[in-house]
Structure 1
Amino acid sequence: MISQSGGQSSQAVRTQLVGPFLAWLRAHGQEPRALVQDFQLPADAESVPEISLPLSTLRAFLEATEQRSGDAFIGLHVAQAFKRGTYGLVEYIARAAPTLRDTFRRLARYMALLNDRMVASFEEDAAAGTFTYGVPGEPLSYGRHANEFGLALFVHVGRQLAGQPWSPLAVTFAHPAPRDFSPLTAHFGVVPSFGGGMNVLTLAATTLDLPVVSADPVLLSVLERAAGTPPPREAAPPDFVQRVHEAIRATLRDGAPKMETVARQLHVSARTLQRRLAEHHTTFQDAADAVRSELARQYLKDPHLGVSEVAFRLGYSDLSTFDRAFKRWTGMTPREFRG
C-alpha cells in the first residue's frame, strides 16, 4: 500500500507521528496491525519514538488513519491527547524556557533536530510574534493531518505551559481548507486560514510575555548544552534556485518549462544547471513544480480566470494533465480548491 511520488516527496523524513497516531487508534478501539503491515512499518512502530519514511508515505499513512478511524480531525484529537516527553530533548528545552516567547524562539532554533528537512523561524515586532515552520519545496508541508496536529499541539501545550487559556491572533495552515473546519476554530479560538504553503502561528506580545510554569533556568542551560549547535537551515531558496524559479516563470507562456531553455537564460549548460540544483538538494522538476504550484493557487483565486485558462498560463497543453498535477500538489482538484 506504500505510495510514493517523485521528487522531494520521495525523500525520507524523520517523524515522531507514527507511534502517537497508532496508539490513538488502539485507544479508540481500532486494531492498528493492518496499517503497520500495509505501510511496511516496524513491528514495534507503535512504541518506537521515531521512524523514517518518505514524505509521501507519511502523508498516505496519516490519511489512512483518518479512513480507519472515521475521524476527519484525527490530527487535532491526537494533539489534544498528547503525552509528555514524545519530543524528547527539544520538548524539554521548550518546557524549561522562562516565557512563551522564549519557548517559541527555542522551538524555531531546535526543531531541525527533530527533522533536518524542516525549517522554522520566529519573527517579532512590538505587537506580535510569528512562528512559522514547513518543508521547502513542499507546499502541503507534512500534509493536512500532520499540519493540524502540529499547530494544535503548539497551542495545546502552550496553554499548559502558561497555566492559563490563551488564543493566537492568527493561524494559517499550509494545506487547503477542509469543507468543515469548525473543530479547528473551536480549538484555536480564531478562524484559521488555509493554503499558505507553510504553517504559521501569530501570538500577541502580551501572550508571549506569559511566564512558563515549568521554567527552570539551570535545567535549560544543561539541556541546551546537550543539544549543541543546531544543524544549519535554509529558510528560503538560495539565490541560484530563486533565479531558476524566475526563469521558469518567464518560459511558461511558451509551454511546459524546458531545462535547456532555462539553462540558456541563465547562461549555463543543462548539465551545470542540473549539478547546481543538486547541490541545493533539488531538481529541475522540483523547481518547475514549485513555480507552477504557487502560480496555480494564485490564478485559481481569480474568479475571472477559468480552469482551462489557468492550465494554459502554466504551460499545460491539456486540462487533464493540469488536474493530475494539481491534485498531486494539494490533494485536491482545481475545482475542489475553488470550492
Structure 2
Amino acid sequence: MGTAAVENVRLVLAAAVARGLSPGMLLAEAELEPHALLAPEGRVPAWSALRLWHVAAERCADPAFGIAAAEHIQAGSYGALGYAMHSSATLGEGLRRLVTFFRLVNQRATLALLEEGDLVRVRFLTEENIPPDMVRHPVECVLFAVLRFTRKLTGATVWPLSVSFQHAAPAELSAHSRAFGDALAFSQPHSELVLSRRVLALPQRGADPSMAEFMERHLRRLLQELPPEETFLVRVRGVLLEELRRGEPSLEALSERLRLSKRTLQRRLKQEGTSLQQLLDEVRRELALRHLSDSKESIAEVAFLLGFSEVSAFHRAFKRWTGSTPGEYRQALP
C-alpha cells in the first residue's frame, strides 16, 4: 500500500500535542507503534499516516488543522529533502527538488510543478480511489508549507494568484484566507497553488550549491531504496485473499475495502484485462494447489478456506482448473 516518511507522523503529533492531545492515544487510533518514530529516516504505512491526520484533525475539531500543522515545519524537517530545498540557489531549483523527491514524503501522492506561460502551478495529486475530503488536511498542509517556503527562503512576500482545492469548503474560512489570501476556490478539479512564473527565478538567501548537490545525491539513493509499490492487481488480489476467509467475496465488499465505487472497480479491472471473477478464480486455484500440496487439511477444510459454501462446488471448480478432482490430485503427488 506504499509508505510515508515518519516525519509526517512527527509533524501531525507536534500540531496535535500543541492543542493538548495525547500522542499515545493518537498513535493507537492510527494503529502506529511508538517505536516507529525512532528511526531518523524511518517509514510507516501511508494509510496509517493518513489515518493519523484524520484522527488528529477530528480530535482537535479544527477545520484548518493542516494549515496549523504547516507552522511546525522547520528547516531540518524531512531531513535531506528539507536541506536540499533550503540550500538551492533559486526558488525554482528548490521547488523542482521538492517535486522530484516528493515520493520520499509519501509514495501515495505526487507533487507536480506545471509551467504554463506566465504561470506556474504547484499541484497536489493523490490516487483516484482516495476521496478528496479524506486528504484535505495533508493537502492544505503541503500547499501552505510550499507558500511559507517561498517567503522564508527568498525574503519576498509571495502571494498566490489563486488557490484551489478538490475538497469541499469548510464552514469557517478565516484561517484559509490568512494563509492563502482571498482567491480561494473549493470543490475544484485540482488542488493547486497558482503563482507568477517569475517567482521561480527568485534567489534564495541560504543558497549553498555544493550542499544542495550533496543532499540530492543522498536523496537519489533513498529513492532507489524505497519499497516497491503495489500494483492495482496486487492490491485487489491481497484483498481477495483476506475476504476469502469470510466466504464468497462480493463486489460490494471489495469495492468498500479498496475505497472504490463498484463501477470504478469493474472499470479498472477491465483496463487491466481481467475481471473480478477471473481474479477470484486465479487466486482460488493457486491457493487450492498450495493447500492440497503442502498441508494436511482435509478437502472439505480446503474448500472452506477458499470461500466455497459447498464441497461439491469446490470439486467442480478444481476439475475445471486441473482436469482432476482434489482427491485425485492429492493422490498423484509424489
Tell me the matched-pair count.
242
* 211, 214, 218: which one aligns with 2:203: 211
Residue 165 (structure 2) pairs with residue 173 (structure 1): yes
Contact 2:2/2:108 (<8 A) preserved: no
Deviation of 1:120 after TM superposition, in Å, equals 2.6
| RMSD of Structure 2 on Structure 1 (CA) | 3.5
| Secondary structure class of the residue paired with 1:221 | helix
Residue 101 (structure 2) pairs with residue 106 (structure 1): no
Q: Using the alignment, how far apart are the partners of 2:19 and 2:32 within structure 1? A: 20
Deviation of 1:104 after TM superposition, in Å, equals 1.6
Contact 1:260/1:269 (<8 A) preserved: no
Q: Using the alignment, how far apart are the partners of 2:14 and 2:78 within structure 1? A: 16
Residue 3 (structure 2) pairs with residue 13 (structure 1): yes
Residue 214 (structure 2) pairs with residue 222 (structure 1): yes
Deviation of 1:142 after TM superposition, in Å, equals 6.1
Contact 2:4/2:43 (<8 A) preserved: yes
Contact 1:121/1:133 (<8 A) preserved: yes
- Deviations 1:208-259 (CA, angstroms, capped at 9, x unpaired): 2221111111112222222227569xxxxxxxxxxxxxxxxxxxxxxx7498
Percent identity over paired residues: 23
Q: Using the alignment, how far apart are the partners of 1:260 and 1:191 within structure 2? A: 38
| Counterpart mapping for 1:182-193 below 5 A | 182-193=174-185
Q: Using the alignment, how far apart are the partners of 2:272 and 2:3 within structure 1? A: 34
Q: Using the alignment, how far apart are the partners of 1:88 and 1:156 within structure 2? A: 18
Q: Using the alignment, how far apart are the partners of 1:211 and 1:117 within structure 2? A: 31
Structure-2-length-normalised TM-score: 0.62
- Deviations 1:115-166 (CA, angstroms, capped at 9, x unpaired): 2322232121331111222223235286111111111111112210111321
Structure-1-length-normalised TM-score: 0.61
Distance 1:268 1:179, change over 3 A: same
Q: Using the alignment, how far apart are the partners of 1:135 and 1:261 within structure 2? A: 19
| Counterpart mapping for 1:58-69 below 5 A | 58-69=49-60
Residue 13 (structure 2) pairs with residue 22 (structure 1): yes
Q: Which amino acid aligns with 1:39?
A: A
Q: Using the alignment, how far apart are the partners of 2:67 and 2:266 within structure 1? A: 45
User: What stretches of structure 2 of length at least 5 have no aligned partner?
Assistant: 227-261, 281-334
User: What stretches of structure 1 of length at least 5 have no aligned partner?
Assistant: 1-10, 233-255, 276-339
Query: Counterpart of 1:119?
Result: 110
Query: Counterpart of 1:43?
Result: 34
Query: Counterpart of 2:73?
Result: 82
> Which of the two has higher C-alpha Rg?
2
